[in-house]
Amino acid sequence: MTEQPFTAGGLRGAVDLTGLKGTTPTRAPAGAAGAGPAAGQGAASQGGAAATGVPGRSGLVVEGTDANFQEVANASVSVPLLLVLWASQVPESRAYLDTVVELAGAHAGRLQVVSVDVEQNPTLLRAFQVQSVPVTMGLVQGQPVPMFAGVQPAEAVRPILEEFLGLAVQHGVTGRVEVTAAEPQDGDDEAAEPPLPPLHQEAYDAIERGDLDAAHAAYTQALKANPADGDAELGLAQVGLMQRTEGADLQAARAAAAENPTDVAAQSLVADLDILGGHVEDAFLRLIDLVRATSGDEREQARVHLVQLFAVVGAHDERVRRARTSLMSALF
């Protein structure tokens, strides 16, 4: 039941990445330093912001060419990449690239933009079968995630970037690039991006070390200090998913769930793996059916686990809204 790309309201789950490198995705270090040219090292020499003329921050933009594209794309195992195909002879496509860079810059290094001038790179022009520019797509673990064809307003792009980041986190791609402010121009008073809150930074550093317990503790402490901290709540849910699925074998998990249809632990593990694989609706349906089939403490455990997965996917996702309605029906 994997969804087909692409609708603006349903990006999460549009691409199934479970076939990559085993049954669970590779978790990337949050810092992502040293992940090749897309990780912020030598970005200018690789054709970053200076090479494309994109104003803003060094490390945020890298130029994709026929010669380096494979190396650049490989960095998407660590950091989600936004690929913008444009043409120097189409001014509106060049201006749209600036829009994407500005929006990506608001995410403090969680996204990197790959700029490709298709007029200068005929191999990429043919490979992506570009009929007109601009074209925007994501790259996560080397897999393309379709987004837009044509110039889009910032208000249309912004929510899709949020959805794309959620998809990347589901597949363990949580790295960041080091973004440094460009030299200020005359009359440019753009404020520097604020650093992450200390506990959030502590959580990212812990993920970089592979210490999920410490990341969980940092997000928990952040939520205790500020129960309204939505980013900490999301981070806590995502780290919890990573902890529960660490080292899990998909085939063995599915076999155990098939043999024990009312076993909450077995069904919950498959639901977690379905979320990682982009089968969001399958995961929700599995646990809703489990709520219907169980009672007492087991039913409550299934309900609580489903609510945890709602937090991972995002409260504003339409599939979460539909699943909440189904859950209420199953309970009452």
pLDDT of residue 194: 67
What average pLDDT does range 277-281 have in this prediction? Answer: 82
Cβ count near 28 (within 10 Å): 25
Instruction: Provide the token pair at 112.
Output: 């990197």
**Per-residue pLDDT at 176 exceeds 70:** yes
**Per-residue pLDDT at 12 exceeds 60:** no
Domains of the chain: 37-181 (3.40.30.10), 200-331 (1.25.40)
Residue type, 304: V
Instruction: Provide the token pair at 46.
Output: 């690789």
Residue 147: exposure state from Cβ atoms within 10 A (0-12, 13-18, ≥19): buried
Across the strands, what pairs with 146?
Answer: 137
**Per-residue pLDDT at 20 exceeds 60:** no
Q: How far apart are CA 289 and CA 244, in angstroms?
A: 21
- Three-state DSSP at 165 gives helix
Identify the residue with better confidence: 54 or 75: 75
Distance of CA 81 to the CA centre of its chain: 9
Could you report the per-residue pLDDT of 202-242, keeping only the tens digit for each? 998 888 888 999 999 999 999 999 988 888 888 898 899 88
- Three-state DSSP at 235 gives helix
Give pTM, 2 decimals. Answer: 0.49
Could you report the per-residue pLDDT of 94-111, keeping only the tens digit for each? 999 999 999 998 888 889
Instruction: Provide the token pair at 311.
Output: 């937090």
Q: How far apart are CA 90 and CA 85, in angstroms?
A: 11
